[in-house]
Amino acid sequence: MAGITMIKASCYQTTAMKIGNVEGVRNLTIRLVVQLRLVRTIRRSCPAGNLGEVTGDRPVLVGLLLYLLVAAAPTILFWVAARLAPAAIEWVAELRRRRTVAPVGPSLERVVANLRRLRREVRDRTQNTQVRRIAVLAAYDDTLLQACGLVDVDAPLASAAGPDRAFARLLTEAALEDAGIALDPPQDGAAAA
């Protein structure tokens, strides 16, 4: 019979071979009896759950749905990837932006404001004691070096020592002025005139 040749599980094939070829039997009744014996023998000899599937076991609707799933899956996956890829890229970019570390230290505006304030104090010379005058001058030098570091200007003051510090301070101030930082901004009255 054609049904026996369609069986795929190995236990079915060995059992059918033991009983014999069903196609050789001519009598219809004998065929049915042999088929019933074959089914009983197969059920006894095959372990439970290992009955396998024959080609026509599924309903047509299930087969059609499986075909549509296999045929449409690449298109649907490509469409979903095309729709979700920009959003995923934007999400990753947003995560990277959040991870960027804020610069350590004060901003350039704050350093320039401190530099101008300390420059006025150094020029006024209203400090009462020598210790205060040296402290203000040291703070001004440190702020000059910090401003040079923020705008990437070579600071001669960094390597100067002793009596050369005053001249190196003037060179550093000139380098900052050349970089575009006005150490003495125009006053409101002078700018209006």
Over residues 32-61, the pLDDT tens digits come to 777 777 777 776 666 555 555 555 677 888
Q: Give the residue numbers spanning the domain of 155.
A: 108-185
The structural domain count of the chain equals 2
Question: Which distant-in-sequence residues (6+ apart) come within 8 Å of 7 by Cβ?
Answer: 13, 16, 52, 54
Residue 34, number of CB atoms within 10 A of its CB: 18
Q: Does residue 96 lie in a domain region?
A: no
Q: Does residue 151 lie in a domain region?
A: yes
Dihedral over alpha carbons 67, 69, 74, 77 (to 10 degrees)? 180
Q: Does residue 57 lie in a domain region?
A: no
Q: Is 173 helix (H, G, I), strand (E, B) or coil?
A: helix
- d(Cα 104, Cα 114) in Å, to the nearest integer? 17
Q: Does residue 78 lie in a domain region?
A: no
Output the pLDDT for position 25: 43
pLDDT at 22 over 70: no
- d(Cα 112, Cα 183) in Å, to the nearest integer? 8
Q: Does residue 92 lie in a domain region?
A: no
**Region 132-152: what's the mean pLDDT?**
91
Q: Does residue 68 lie in a domain region?
A: no
